[in-house]
Every structure is written in C-alpha cells, then in structure tokens.
Amino acid sequence: MSGPALERVQVPAVPAKSRRERIALQRLLPFLSLIILFIALTLASPNFFTSTNLSSVVRQTAVINIMALGMTMIMINGGIDLSVGAILAMGGLLGTMAMESGMSIPMGVLVGILTGLGCGLANGLMITHLRVQPFIVTLGTLGIFRGITLIISNGLPVHRIPEQFSYLGEGNLLGVPFVLWILVGCALVTHVILEHTRLGRYTFAIGSNREAAVYAGIPVSFHTTAVYAIGGMLTGLAGMIEASRLMTGQPTAGQGYELQAIAAVVIGGGSLQGGEGSVVGTLVGAFIMGLLSNGSDLLGVSPYLQQAIIGAVIILAVTLDEVRKRRTAAA
C-alpha cells in the first residue's frame, strides 16, 4: 500500500498544546460564568449564600433541570419537544389523581412518570412514522396533551393528596433537598446514556447527519422514538415534583416551561441543528437561569426586567458559543 504524497501530514503550525488549552478554556466558559455569577451574588447580597436560599434555588430549578435533561437528548438527536410543558401538567395531574383515588405515593409517582413516557412515545412515533418535523408534531401535541389534561380534570386542580407527598419536592435527605438527589441521579443516568451507550452514540449520529445514520444501518426511527420516550419520562417525573411542591395537581401547570428547558440546553452549548450538547452543559445552563432569577429577586430587580435579562443571556451565551465554534473550525 504505497501511494504518493502520504507522508505529508497537515499539522497546525502553532504548538498543539496551547491551542488545545485555549479551546478547553473556551469550552469552560459557561461553567466559569456560573461560578462568577455565584461569587458576584454572594458578594452582592447577604441573603444569597445561605442554606435556605440555596436549597430554594435548587428546588426551583430542579423541575426545569430534569425536563432539560430530556430535552438535551432530544435536541442532540436533532429534534425538539415543545409539548413538555403540557406533558408535565398531564403527568402531575394523573399522578395526583391516582393518589387521590387511593394509590400509594410511589405508585402515584410511577403513574406520573408512565404518563410522561406515554406522551413522549406518542411524540416519537408520530415524528418517525408520519415524517413530520418534530417542531410541528410537538406543537400539535402541546395543544392535544394540554386539552386532554383539561378535559380529564374538568379544568379543576387535584387537592386531596397525602401530606407525605410533599417530601418529594420539599423534603431533605442527608441535609440537602431530596430533589437534588433525584436531579443528580437523573443527570448521571442521562450522561451515561449519552456518552457510554449505543443509544447515546446513535443519538449524536442521527442529530449530526440523519442520512448518514440511515446509510450506516442504524435503526433511526427506533432510536429517535426512544429519545422522545425518555424525554417524556423525565418530564413526567418533573411533573410529579412540581405537583409535590404545589401540593396540587394543576392542569394548567408548566406553561412556558418548554422554552426554559430549551434555553437551558442552548446556553449549555446545545444546538437546534442537533449533534451537539451535553448533560453538564445543560445543568450549567439551567443553574445560570436559576441564579439569575433568584439573584434578581434578592436584589429587588423587577420581575419584568428579569425576563429581559434572561432573554439577553440566552442570546449572549449562544453568540459566544458560535464565536468559539467558528474559531476552532479552521478551514
């Protein structure tokens, strides 16, 4: 196997190490901003770095965070799920109704999770079998799921829930909020799926180039559906946490949450084009948004301005990420 011109290897002229370090540094940017934000808030407000406040940040962000984990997988796959807010409400409602009708708390939570799984499965099957864009399908199911939830509940929240159920969202285990354990658990599982299993590898491949994935013999429809189902499951769990925090099953819960989940993924380096994103990035993204809103509350910034700030942060984060990608993608 001797061909011409083989020994000529294209290597960058600058020492590879400093280059790699620079890229690594840029990749850490969201992480650094989170830390800086954390320190700044600690200095700015005496009420920030207290265990009460920090656990309330964790509790507030956990719901979006868990949803965003599923959204990360879906977006890496090249899709999007606009219906997560409605899935959250349906999961929370059916789970609490199950408890109301006498089921045990774990069973109720399971009902909520399975409801989410079912919704996600429906999304995935429709996307892969009708061959309609995920944006459109989930825009439709956003309405359908919400409508069904309202019909089932007749628009009324579920109140008769066992008191111990509040432990899920408000309890502590070993001195930290119980939801933090759940979040860490979900994040670990999602991370392992994405980075260390075939499903994860295929998810990246499908999002990066769906056609190439088909031609490589990957069962694309199956794995795409699986990703939506897992996303739905996580959302169902988030719905139960939300219900536990409010101690009601609200048919109108979760409105607008889909955008927050998408924002978390995007701030964390995910892309609407697919093929990019990570669990750590998404967690950082969700916490950046959580800290911004908590910090604004503590510093007395008006909630109206808060929204604008978070909007600006989304654009800023994605811009910085784009700049990084353009720089590293030398011809």
Partner 1 sequence: MLLELDHIEKRYGGVTALSDGSLTVQAGEVHLLLGENGAGKSTLMKIIAGIVERDAGRMLWQGREVHLKTPAEAAAIGISMVHQESLLAPHLTVAENLYLGREERLPFGWVRRQRMIESANRLIRDHQFPLRAEWRVEKLTPAGKQLVEICRAILHGSSLVIFDEPTSSLSSSETAEVFRIVRTLRDRSVGVIYITHRLDELQSVGDRVTILRDGKTVHSGALAELTTDRIIQHMVGRELSAIYHRDPLPPGDELLRVEGLNRKGELHDISLSLRAGEIVGMAGLIGAGRTELCRALFAVDPIDSGRVFVCGREARLRSPQEAVEAGIALITEDRQITGLALRLPIAHNITLANVRGISRFGLLDRGAQNSAARDFMGRLRIRASSARQLCGRLSGGNQQKVVIAKWLFRQARVFLFDEPTRGIDVGAKAEVFNLMHELARSGAAILMVSSEMQELLQVADRILVMREGRITGELPGRSTQEEIMRYAALETVSEEIR
Nearest CB to partner 1, comparing residues 165 and 202? 202
What is the closest distance, in whole angstroms, from the C-beta atom of residue 173 to partner 1 in the complex?
28
What is the closest distance, in whole angstroms, from the C-beta atom of residue 303 to partner 1 in the complex?
38
Binding site for partner 1 (CB under 8 A): 1, 3-6, 8-14, 16, 19, 192, 195-198, 200-202, 204-205, 208-209, 211-219, 275-276, 327-331
Q: Of 72, 162, 70, which Cα lies nearest the Cα of 121?
A: 70
Nearest CB to partner 1, comparing residues 319 and 328? 328
Nearest CB to partner 1, comparing residues 11 and 174? 11
What is the closest distance, in whole angstroms, from the C-beta atom of residue 280 to partner 1 in the complex?
17
DSSP, res 234: H
Interatomic CA distance for residues 269 and 277, integer angstroms = 5
Nearest CB to partner 1, comparing residues 163 and 211? 211
Q: Which helix (H) or strand (E) holds 177?
A: strand 176-177
What string of DSSP letters covers 250-275? -TTTTTTHHHHHHHHHHHTT--TTSS
Which residue type, as a one-letter code, is found at position 140? G
DSSP, res 196: H
Q: Which helix (H) or strand (E) holds 91?
A: helix 84-100
Nearest CB to partner 1, comparing residues 90 and 194? 194
What is the closest distance, in whole angstroms, from the C-beta atom of residue 315 to partner 1 in the complex?
22
What is the closest distance, in whole angstroms, from the C-beta atom of residue 15 to partner 1 in the complex?
9
Q: 158 has which bridge partners?
A: 249
Nearest CB to partner 1, comparing residues 10 and 302? 10
What string of DSSP letters covers 110-136? HHHHHHHHHHHHHHHHHHHHH---HHH
Nearest CB to partner 1, comparing residues 107 and 212? 212
Alpha-carbon distance values, 39 to 71, 122, 303 (Å): 29, 44, 22
What is the closest distance, in whole angstroms, from the C-beta atom of residue 284 to partner 1 in the complex?
21
Residue-wise burial string across 90-113, b where 16 or more C-beta atoms lie within 10 A, e elsewhere: bbbbbbbbbbeeebebeebbbbbb
What is the closest distance, in whole angstroms, from the C-beta atom of residue 202 to partner 1 in the complex?
7
